[in-house]
Amino acid sequence: MVEATEDLLPRDRPRYAMGVGMPDELAEYVARGIDMMDCVLPTRNARNGTVFTSEGRLAIKNARYRDDGGPLDPNCGCPTCRGYSRAYLRHLFQAGEILFSSLATMHNLRRYLDIMAEVRQAILEGRFGQYIRKARSQSETA
């Protein structure tokens, strides 16, 4: 729908897309002229045990995380990644503890903010074209 309305919306006004945005799509929306977007994906996915990392999606309920002492995302500096292991977060999720939802939500929101900071920096440095090409090629191979 963003593509279908791209030429219809005035370029001198803010463009808002509601209810969109998997992590690998965010740069694409910016490339198509979207200025603002929001979505329940980071919070809904967090509540259901899926976190977004710099290495892709991670389903914390998987048994392979039972004894994993590492952070959700080794490239993330959020409080969840700095203070809690995958094993402990999996335990919280499996036990139905509401703390998991809060910690996973904090992480997912931080991931989205980090992506948008990368996009913003690429634009400021005049390398957004390179950034979006890389994002598109990674999206195709995922």
Length of the chain: 142
Q: How confident is the model at residue 136 (pLDDT cuts 50, 70, 90)?
A: confident
pLDDT at residue 134, as a whole number: 86
Domain extents in the chain:
2-136
Q: Is 62 left (phi over 0), alpha (psi -120 to 50) or beta?
A: beta
Q: Would you call 51 helix, strand, or coil by DSSP?
A: strand
State pLDDT tens for residues 68-118: 999 999 999 999 999 999 999 999 999 999 999 999 999 999 999 999 999
User: Considering only the top CATH level, what class is 2-136?
Assistant: alpha beta
Contact of 119 with 81, CB cutoff 8 Å: no
- Whether the model clears a pTM of 0.85, i.e. scores above it, the answer is yes
Whether the Cβ atoms of residue 18 and residue 108 lie closer than 8 Å to each other: no
